[in-house]
Amino acid sequence: MSKMDEKTVIIACDFNSKERLEEFLDQMEGTDPNFYCKVGMELFNTGALEGFQPVKMIKDRGHKVFLDLKLKDIPNTVAKTAAVLAKAGADIINVHADGGLTMMKKAVDSINGVYSQYEIDCQALIETNQDGINDEMIAQLEEKIKSKPILVGVTVLTSMSDEELKEEIGVDRTSMEQAVALAKLSKEAGMDGVICSPKEILAIKAACGEDFLTITPGIRFIDSKKDDQTRIATPYCANAMGTNGIVVGRPITEAEDSIASYNRCKKEFAQGIGSPEEVENAKIYIADIKKKMLEPSDAVALALIEAGAFKVNTEDPYLLKSGIASPLYCNNRALYCYPEQQKLVMNYLAELVKECYPSCEAIFGTPLSAISFGALVAERLNLKFGFRRPEKKDHGLNVEIEGPVEEGIRAVVIEDLITSGASSFQSVSELMGYNIDVLGVGGIVDNNFIDSTELIKNEIDYHTITTMSKIAHYAGEQGLITPEQYDQVLAYENNPKDESWMSEEAAEKIRIKRQNQNK
C-alpha cells in the first residue's frame, strides 16, 4: 500500500485559468513547502486549452498533486491512462469504484508495472555503474520509486443525497451502504483507499480496516457556507472520525486570508483542536452515524424504545395473548406515531422478506396491528397484499381472507410480535386452506424468552428482525429497567413459565386478568 502523510489537508484548486492558479500559489508562499493541491477536471482541462500543465506547475513549486480526474472507462483504457498520470508526477490518482473490480485491478496492475520497471532499470544502472557515471540517473529513479502514487476509488459523490442515489441513479442502497460496498470492492482490487463523504468514514474503516485510506471531501468550517455539498463535516469532526485526509476548497481558496484558513484547517484536523461547540457537535454527529451503522436487530431495538413501544412493569405485569404473565411488553403499534422510526423498521422488515423469501409474490398481514405493517412492507416490495380478518365477515362477501386468494401464489405472513406463534400459525393455516403457498412468517420482534411452539411444532419457517431480549438489553443500558426490577426481569427471562418472580400483589392482578381473558 502506498503511504500518505498522517492527517493530510488537500487544497482543492478548482480554478479556471493559469493566472488564478499562479495567484493562489503565490498567496500560499511561506506556508508548508509541500502541501497537497487537488487538480480537478476544470483546472486540468483549462490547462489543456490554454497550453499549460497545471500538474507540472504545481510540482515545480515543490508541492504534491492529487489528480482528481475520476477515471472510468473500459479496463484497458483506464489502465493506460493511470500509467500516464503516474509518470506525469501525480501523487494521488482516483478512479470511479463503480467502474468495477476488473477496471480497478487493471489500474493497480498498470501503476505497479510502471514502478516495477523503474526498480528493474535502477538495479541495472547500479550494477553497470562505473566511476559514478550514472549516479544522477540512479538518484532520479530512486526518487521516482519512493514517490509511487496513491490510488483511490471514488465511492459516492458528496453532492449526492440518498434520494438522488435511489430515484435518479436507481441504486437501492443508502449512500452509506453503497460507499461501504464500493470500498470493499476497491480493497479487493488492491487499491490504497477511497474517497468518501464524512458520513461513511467510520463504516468504511470498520469494513476495510484502519489501514485502508479514506480521503474526505465535503469539509466545511463550522461557520462556512454549505455550498453544493450535502454530506459534510468540519475538519475537527473529520479528525474525530479517523479519516486520513480531507479535501478543502472554497473555505481556503476564497478566504480573505488563505494561509490563515489553511492553518486553521491544520489546527482543527491535523492537531484535532476544536472549539467547545465543535467538540459537542462532533459528538452528536458521530453518535448519529454510529446509530446508522448498527446491525438491523440493534437499530430496530433502539427505534422501538425511541417510539415508546417497550414497556416494563413488575408490579402490574402484562398478560400476553398466550396466557403468559410478563414484566416486559413491546407495543409495536406505537410506531404509528413516530414516522422516522416506523420508516426504519418497515425498511428492515421489507429487507428481511426480500432476503429470506426472495420468491415471495404476496404479503399477508395478521390481525390487527400487523395488517398495516404488512401493507407497508408490500408497498416497499411492490407485491400484492392481503390480510386475515380477526373473524369471518358476517355480511357482503362473508370472507375471512382479503386480498389475492390465488391458488399456488407464494406468500409471506407478516407479524408484529411472535410469542407462542399461535396467531401466526392460525393465519398460515387459513391461507394454506386456500392452497396458498406460505413460504414463512416475517416479524418485527421475537419474544425469544418463550419458544414459538406452534410455528416450531408445525415446521413453519419464521424470522424476525430483533428480539425482546435485545430490546431489554438496550432498555437496561438506558435506565428504563431499574436495578430493583432487574432481578425480576432476569428471573422471568430464565423461565417465563415460572411466576415466582412476581410479588403476591402482582400475582393477584394477573389472576384477575386471566379470569377476564377467559370470559
470 as an active site residue: the answer is: no
**d(Cα 460, Cα 456) in Å, to the nearest integer?**
6
Q: In 3-state terms, the chain is what percent helix, strand and coil (to 5)?
A: 50, 15, 35
**d(Cα 352, Cα 333) in Å, to the nearest integer?**
19
How far from the centroid of its chain's Cα atoms is residue 18's Cα? 40
Report strand pairing: 325-326 vs 318-319: antiparallel
Locus of grid cell 421489507: 350
54 exposure class (CB count in 10 Å sphere: 0-12, 13-18, 19+): buried
**d(Cα 424, Cα 415) in Å, to the nearest integer?**
7
Coil vs helix vs strand at 185: helix
Query: Given 18, 59, 70, 291, which residue is catalytic?
Result: 70
Q: What is the DSSP string of 5-53?
A: -SSEEEEE---SSHHHHHHHHHHTTTS-TT-EEEEEHHHHHHHHHHT--
Q: How far is CA 44 from CA 66, 129, 439, in A?
A: 11, 39, 57
Beta bridge partners of 213: 193
How crowded is the C-beta side of 319, counted as CA atoms within 13 Å? 14
Beta bridge partners of 385: 363
Contact present, 253 and 13 (Cβ < 8 Å): yes
Q: Which residues are catalytic?
A: 70
